[in-house]
Structure 1
Amino acid sequence: MSCGIDWAQDHHDVAVVDGQGAVIHAERIGNDAAGLARLLEILCEHDPHDGRLEVAIETSRGLLVAGLRAAGRTVFAINPLAVSRYRDRYRSSRGKSDAFDAMVLANILRTDRDAHRPLPNDSEQVRALQVLCRAQQDATWDKITITNRIRALLKAYFPGAVAAFERGGKHRLESPSCRTILAAASTPREAAALTERRLAALLRKAGRKRGVDAEATRLHSYFHTEQMSQPAPVEQAMGVALRGLVRQLDAICDALAELEALIDTAYRAHPDGPIISSVPGLGVALGARLLAEIGDDHTRFADARALKAFAGAAPVTRASGRSTFVHARRAKNNRMAAAGYVWALAAVRHDPHWEARYRARRAAGDRHVTALRKMFNSMLGKLHHCLTTGELYHPDDAFRPLAPAIATPAA
């Protein structure tokens, strides 16, 4: 028998089917502790082998999934797109209901269990690290979005600030110095009223310690350069909007600092941390992201090819008749793919072996992104070997010289 759960925000539909696909139990439970208790009772009632009744659901997160895993149940997270394809097997009319979807999920395990994988048996330490890393990655993306909005707003009424912080100096719009000055002077008139002494005080408040007076003089000259301006009421309104964006950026930067400290502690405490950090290009930030997405269940991926497909590094081949087309994989773990691009770029810059391989790919005609993706594909294979065997990365083993060719006697 198998069980399927169609989850929702307020309730969940449960269906248990037997070996012939007949529904032997169907019930709707609540999304609360009582609903979870009732679900565990249903599983115990219909479980003939004490814990072997497996559960299929369309999500891998949430309190319901956490409760099932804590109870020792094997949970399969089925892709909703795959569920929609299976649904057409039972109803050509494309009819749909929550109870029907629960039955479809249960039958997916009954018929095609081997085509799907259960949730990995990761430790609580890695699951906590995954929450922290994903929150940090989301905050980083939000930081980029807010920074771009600030840049676009400044160009609309205060282009001198963009020139002062991004073109004329080493500051960026998300830097503490820029945020502190823009919060104190959010319009061109307010910035022009700042003296060099006041600018130096704001720079020190932001944490700058060296070259404060020279930087204050430079900013003062930029703020006093003649430039186009909006009408005074419009300029004041845009200044209010800018201060709101700067406050959001301040909150995101504070959250990032806290998350980075927690990630550093959790990553260094994990036993797989030294193995991952031994690979060129992987420090704490990237190593933690890869560990969080790969997990510490070393039986999750049957081989390195499965890990490469999961990360989106392995290509996809479409062949039909005489035509064959190889292209990059679209269905992938986007978080891991984003970290892989940065990882490959860092390895090229800091390791001569990977730099030589990158140059060879470029000489063969690959574009920059294609060469980095192929390097990411190769690097994942080596990382998978290190994690599976528990060995640290060593360049002599990763790049073994080719054996000399055996000389053949002349004819």
Structure 2
Amino acid sequence: MSVQDTPGTKRAVTAGVDWAKDNHAVCVLDADGEPIERFIVTHNKTGLNRLNTVLDRHGVDDVGIERGDGPVVDALLAAGRTVFVIPPSQVKALRRRYGSAGNKDDRFDAYVLADTVRTDRRRLTPLLLDSEPTTALRKLCRARKDLVAHRVAATNQLRAHLQTALPAAVDLFADLDSAVSLRFLTRFASQDALDWLSPKRLAAWLTSVGYCGRTDPAVLHTRITTAARGATGDHGQALAGITRAYLATIQTITAQIEALAQQITEALTVHPDRQIFTSMPKSGTVRAARLLAEIGDARGRFPTPTSLACLAGVAPSTRESGKARVVAFRWAVDKQLRDAVCDFAGDSRHANPWAADLYRRARARGHDHPHAVRILARAWLDIIWKCWTTGTAYDPTQHRALQRLLNQDQPVRA
């Protein structure tokens, strides 16, 4: 007789919730994997109350679900349940445990989630939520990142438009979406307006807007006069209206990016873990905030640096069968976390000799830039994890690998 079958021993009852937009399919299983109850709950307060009422009636403590945030998860955690997040990619693979067809069905997915919690609970990690300040910081950073992507898209649309409407303005300044470039296009939106400019007039205008670039106004004027001419007359004025529309869009997005950056700065300043991430080389404010927000502050989520590296996608995936061994790129990862870690690692090499040396050696072995950055990111995560778990800031003088490298360079420099 097993421990579970011992008289008086409570046998686990599990549940799975298949998340959807308006309704959620729920399946409750007994300890033998037999469905006790299947039902649908609506995505509102009444539905979530009913969800917990039914789970309470069956004594469900463990619940499997495909995502780790939102009102459903909040309701389950508030009721004191243990939530296990099983990503959709894993659920897709797990369907084949129950048949070769692999059909997608909400009720069946709820069953798969519940049964996976029942049979594989020891392999699953309970969901640990970050604090509210960290969650808010994460949403701010991701919103800013989305707006930056929108600005890039709008700038690309403006560039494509200017190729025919006003070619001289495309490469006039270093960046098309820079402040001086946007102000220039606002003032000189058509070829007719550009034709009015002389070297002296251009120099006077640049002075009036506080242009601090290193390019001589005469050189800029030469770029204008030697570029292909844009549309003139009524046609040019019509295209100038389109240019102004793109400019208004980019300026609005830029203003909101700056507003979010200010909020991020304020949120990071008061965060308890601020000093850990701002102490990293080339971390800045937004980059440090992204690292903090994506890693979080729920220490129990990453018991080892390897677990953090795997979720960040900077540890390779190894597959072995017989004599065959393949080391491949890891696809099933937290892409936001990977982007934040690799963005930091890629820039850290410009300020940290140890990081620069690690990157250089990876490139010397034949790895391309993204692969070398992931190798560097993997090494940094060991350091970040140690600082994160101990609550200490990064100190270059205590970084032994860095100090060894610096000490090796001393005789050479002497």
Q: Do Structure 1 and Structure 2 share a fold, with TM-score over 0.5?
A: yes
- Describe the superposition over 1:298-329 as per-residue Cα deviations: whole angstroms up to 9, x where unpaired: 11112011111111111122222223222332
Report if the CA contact (8 A) 2:64-2:117 is conserved. yes
Aligned counterparts of 1:211 and 1:87: Cα–Cα separation in 2: 61
Matching residue's letter, 2:348: A
Equivalence for 1:8? 20
Aligned counterparts of 1:301 and 1:100: Cα–Cα separation in 2: 31
Closer/same/farther in 2, CA of residues 226 and 363 from structure 1, 3 Å limit: closer
1:19 to 7, 31, 42: 31
**The residue matched to 1:140 in structure 2 has which SS?**
helix
Aligned counterparts of 1:12 and 1:118: Cα–Cα separation in 2: 21
Check if 1:66 corresponds to 2:69: no
With structure 1 as the length reference, what TM-score do the two structures score?
0.85
Aligned counterparts of 1:198 and 1:247: Cα–Cα separation in 2: 25
With structure 2 as the length reference, what TM-score do the two structures score?
0.84
Structure 2 spans left out of the alignment, 5+ residues: 1-12, 406-414
Alignment of 1:141-290 (within 5 A): 141-166=149-174, 172-193=175-196, 208-209=209-210, 222-225=223-226, 227-230=228-231, 235-290=236-291
Closer/same/farther in 2, CA of residues 317 and 97 from structure 1, 3 Å limit: closer
Alignment of 1:376-395 (within 5 A): 376-395=377-396
Closer/same/farther in 2, CA of residues 399 and 182 from structure 1, 3 Å limit: same
Equivalence for 1:35? 47
Report if the CA contact (8 A) 1:177-1:202 is conserved. no
Report if the CA contact (8 A) 2:294-2:337 is conserved. yes
Matching residue's letter, 1:39: L
Equivalence for 2:96? 88
Q: How far did residue 226 of structure 1 move?
A: 5.9
Check if 1:322 corresponds to 2:347: no
Aligned counterparts of 1:261 and 1:92: Cα–Cα separation in 2: 52
Structure 1 spans left out of the alignment, 5+ residues: 167-171, 403-411
**The residue matched to 1:60 in structure 2 has which SS?**
coil
Report if the CA contact (8 A) 1:16-1:24 is conserved. yes
Aligned counterparts of 1:203 and 1:39: Cα–Cα separation in 2: 65
**The residue matched to 2:186 in structure 1 has which SS?**
helix
Closer/same/farther in 2, CA of residues 96 and 373 from structure 1, 3 Å limit: closer
Closer/same/farther in 2, CA of residues 19 and 200 from structure 1, 3 Å limit: farther
Equivalence for 2:408? none
- Describe the superposition over 1:166-185 as per-residue Cα deviations: whole angstroms up to 9, x where unpaired: 3xxxxx21112222332343
Q: How far did residue 224 of structure 1 move?
A: 4.6
- More displaced 10-residue stretch of structure 1: 357-366 or 377-386: 357-366
Q: How far did residue 104 of structure 1 move?
A: 1.7
Q: How far did residue 231 of structure 1 move?
A: 7.4
Q: How far did residue 94 of structure 1 move?
A: 4.2
**The residue matched to 1:56 in structure 2 has which SS?**
strand
Report if the CA contact (8 A) 1:192-1:220 is conserved. no
Check if 1:312 corresponds to 2:324: no
Q: How far did residue 93 of structure 1 move?
A: 4.6
Aligned counterparts of 1:357 and 1:93: Cα–Cα separation in 2: 47
**The residue matched to 1:163 in structure 2 has which SS?**
coil
Equivalence for 1:297? 298
Report if the CA contact (8 A) 1:55-1:74 is conserved. yes
- Describe the superposition over 1:316-359 as per-residue Cα deviations: whole angstroms up to 9, x where unpaired: 22222223222332222222222233322322111223223333
- Describe the superposition over 1:102-157 as per-residue Cα deviations: whole angstroms up to 9, x where unpaired: 22211111112233323223111111111111111111222222222222221233
Q: How far did residue 10 of structure 1 move?
A: 1.6
Report if the CA contact (8 A) 2:191-2:232 is conserved. no
Aligned counterparts of 1:265 and 1:242: Cα–Cα separation in 2: 35
Report if the CA contact (8 A) 2:92-2:102 is conserved. no
Identity of aligned residues (%): 35
Aligned counterparts of 2:389 and 2:87: Cα–Cα separation in 1: 27
| Count of aligned positions | 391
Equivalence for 1:407? none
Report if the CA contact (8 A) 1:57-1:76 is conserved. yes
Closer/same/farther in 2, CA of residues 364 and 399 from structure 1, 3 Å limit: farther
Closer/same/farther in 2, CA of residues 269 and 238 from structure 1, 3 Å limit: same
Aligned counterparts of 1:91 and 1:346: Cα–Cα separation in 2: 48
Matching residue's letter, 2:75: G
Q: How far did residue 222 of structure 1 move?
A: 4.4
Q: How far did residue 232 of structure 1 move?
A: 5.5
Closer/same/farther in 2, CA of residues 262 and 215 from structure 1, 3 Å limit: farther
Closer/same/farther in 2, CA of residues 17 and 334 from structure 1, 3 Å limit: same
Report if the CA contact (8 A) 1:281-1:344 is conserved. no
Closer/same/farther in 2, CA of residues 117 and 198 from structure 1, 3 Å limit: farther
Report if the CA contact (8 A) 2:77-2:83 is conserved. yes
**The residue matched to 2:39 in structure 1 has which SS?**
strand
Q: How far did residue 164 of structure 1 move?
A: 1.4
Closer/same/farther in 2, CA of residues 73 and 199 from structure 1, 3 Å limit: farther
Closer/same/farther in 2, CA of residues 399 and 361 from structure 1, 3 Å limit: farther
